[in-house]
């Protein structure tokens, strides 16, 4: 692409790196669809990387092109972040219908991963609210909707950017009848209570934090967070902070994580509590600390995230037990209920439960993650490609039964493989 600079870059987990010419086009017509695109590289692994080849950084494509405040329909360039939308829209009565845990995710990245939020059980996945896209395929601009080309649509939603560079996204927003999030937190004592409370919750947003260091009878203990949009005065949010340097390797060692988790658990009173939080504080709690991925040091880190069908909750408990016994987990461990909503052949969600846990990048953690992947396959579940840096093609294809349909549509959209990324090559996704 024109105007490219040679840089070395990585995903959020900083384990894989890529070097190559990266263009950051300011003019939309400079995007020619001859190289894979990336957004803010908030995917953990190698999905947004193209080592040795070119890439197109979409973050300068950051304009909202049309907004209809009556119908709540918005069309924007693909580099607009969900954090921007969550910041500017509530005052006009709207909210993005689905928000992942980071506001730095761009619209293009949200489509290419068909992301989910804390409301997935009720609202479905991101792309289920997208009504139109513009793709650039090898110099050709191509508007797509679910009606005009259902197969291309399904190959694009969650499709890792392999059907073309997404330049514009049209989104049906969700009505936002308030100014703050009203959040209720409750301690949950163990795994059985955690699952029972997730099942019983009828809150719009619901997520469980798990103390992945707790084992034995306390296995699965944590905090259940339920939230609704409400009216009120948003509390001021402290200014963002930045992690300036790579932390030493012991910063997230087992004793420190255990101590931190215990504090975090006991922070919520035994009787629970209800508080009011600003939208960004609720949806993107970690964004307040910029570059927090440096806490894992130079070697980087992994996130394992899987989803299993509802009847396999027991398999998930077994996985959590292995994680707790390993002493490798970090404070970031999340359990969510998922609904069936998904929009694409390679979309991650399925009805059931999803567990996400961060691990420092060490041999023991990589071995544990491989084992967890096996358990996921055995349970009929799948792992999330936005988080993956380690899996093998065979495992992933076994988890995604629609892969052949994705492949045939992608082969037509990008016959020369111009949009292949490091992840696509590692998982051999462009072949059966």
Ligand X SMILES: Cc1cc2nc3c(=O)[nH]c(=O)nc-3n(C[C@H](O)[C@H](O)[C@H](O)COP(=O)(O)OP(=O)(O)OC[C@H]3O[C@@H](n4cnc5c(N)ncnc54)[C@H](O)[C@@H]3O)c2cc1C
Site residues (vs another protein, CB under 8 A): 2-6, 23-27, 60, 62-67, 74, 87-88, 91-92
Minimum CB separation of residue 234 from another protein in Å reads 15
HSE-up (13 A, CA, CB side) for residue 124: 12
Choose among 87, 86, 82, 137: nearest CA to 113.
82
Minimum CB separation of residue 353 from another protein in Å reads 37
Q: Which does 66 bind (CB under 5 to 8 A by kind): ligand X, another protein, none?
A: another protein
- Provide the edge-to-edge strand list for the sheet that holds 140-144: 64-68, 73-77, 165-172, 130-137, 140-144
Among 22, 74, 165, 176, binds ligand X (CB under 6 A): 165
Minimum CB separation of residue 28 from another protein in Å reads 8
Residue 38 contacts ligand X per CB under 6 A? yes
The angle, 0 to 180 degrees and rounded to 10, between the axes of the packed helices 313-326 and 191-200 is 140
Among 25, 90, 161, 297, binds ligand X (CB under 6 A): 161
Residues 50 and 398 sit within 8 Å (Cβ to Cβ): no
Minimum CB separation of residue 117 from ligand X in Å reads 6
Q: Map the footprint of ligand X across residues 384-423, applying CB under 6 A.
A: 386, 421
How far CA 16 is from CA of 111, 299, 310, in Å, comes to 22, 10, 33
Quick one: 39 or 72, whose CB is closer to ligand X? 39
Residues 14 and 387 sit within 8 Å (Cβ to Cβ): no
Residue 354 contacts ligand X per CB under 6 A? no
The overall longest dimension of the chain from CA atoms, in Å, is 60
**Cα separation of 228 and 54, whole Å?**
43
Q: Which does 6 bind (CB under 5 to 8 A by kind): ligand X, another protein, none?
A: another protein
Quick one: 328 or 332, whose CB is closer to ligand X? 332
Print the binding letters for residues 42-61 with ligand X: x by CB under 6 A, - otherwise.
Answer: xx---xx---------x---
HSE-up (13 A, CA, CB side) for residue 7: 12
Q: Which does 112 bind (CB under 5 to 8 A by kind): another protein, ligand X, none?
A: ligand X
Look up residue 234 and give its DSSP letter: P
Quick one: 67 or 260, whose CB is closer to another protein? 67
Quick one: 265 or 284, whose CB is closer to ligand X? 284
Residue 213 contacts ligand X per CB under 6 A? no
Choose among 222, 227, 403, 413: nearest CA to 329.
222
Residue 338 contacts ligand X per CB under 6 A? no
């Amino acid at each position: 692409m024109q105007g490219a600079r040679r840089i070395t870059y990585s995903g959020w987990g900083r384990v894989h790196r890529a070097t190559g010419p990266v263009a950051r086009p300011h003019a939309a017509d400079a995007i020619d669809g001859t190289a894979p695109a990336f957004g803010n590289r908030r995917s953990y692994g190698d999905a947004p990387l193209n080592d040795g080849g070119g890439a197109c950084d979409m973050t300068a494509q950051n304009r909202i092109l049309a907004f209809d405040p009556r119908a709540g329909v918005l069309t924007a360039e693909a580099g607009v972040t969900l954090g921007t939308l969550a910041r500017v829209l509530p005052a006009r009565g709207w909210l993005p219908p689905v928000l992942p845990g980071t506001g730095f995710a761009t619209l293009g990245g949200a489509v290419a991963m068909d992301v989910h939020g804390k409301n997935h059980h009720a609202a479905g996945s991101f792309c289920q609210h997208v009504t139109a896209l513009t793709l650039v395929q090898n110099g050709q601009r191509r508007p797509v909707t679910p009606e005009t080309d259902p197969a291309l649509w399904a190959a694009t939603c969650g499709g890792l950017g392999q059907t073309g560079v997404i330049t514009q996204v049209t989104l049906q927003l969700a009505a936002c009848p308030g100014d703050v999030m009203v959040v209720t937190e409750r301690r949950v004592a163990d795994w059985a209570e955690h699952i029972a409370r997730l099942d019983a919750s009828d809150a719009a947003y619901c997520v469980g934090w798990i103390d992945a260091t707790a084992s034995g009878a306390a296995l699965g203990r944590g905090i259940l967070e339920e939230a609704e949009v409400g009216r009120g005065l948003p509390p001021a949010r402290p200014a963002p902070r930045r992690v300036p340097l790579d932390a030493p390797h012991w910063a997230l060692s087992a004793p420190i994580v255990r101590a931190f988790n215990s504090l975090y658990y006991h922070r919520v009173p035994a009787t629970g509590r209800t508080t009011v939080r600003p939208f960004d504080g609720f949806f993107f709690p970690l964004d307040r600390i910029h570059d927090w991925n440096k806490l894992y040091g130079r070697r980087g880190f992994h996130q394992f995230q899987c989803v299993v069908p509802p009847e396999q909750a027991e398999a998930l408990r077994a996985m959590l037990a292995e994680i707790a016994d390993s002493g490798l987990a970090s404070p970031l461990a999340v359990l969510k209920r998922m609904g069936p909503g998904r929009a694409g052949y390679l979309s991650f969600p399925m009805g059931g439960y999803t567990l996400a846990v961060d691990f420092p990048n060490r041999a023991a953690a990589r071995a544990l993650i491989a084992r967890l992947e096996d358990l996921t396959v055995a349970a009929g579940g799948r792992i999330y490609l936005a988080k993956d840096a380690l899996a093998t093609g065979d495992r992933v294809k076994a988890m995604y039964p629609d892969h052949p349909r994705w492949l045939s549509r992608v082969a037509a959209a990008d016959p020369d493989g111009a949009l292949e990324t490091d992840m696509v090559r590692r998982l051999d996704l462009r072949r059966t």
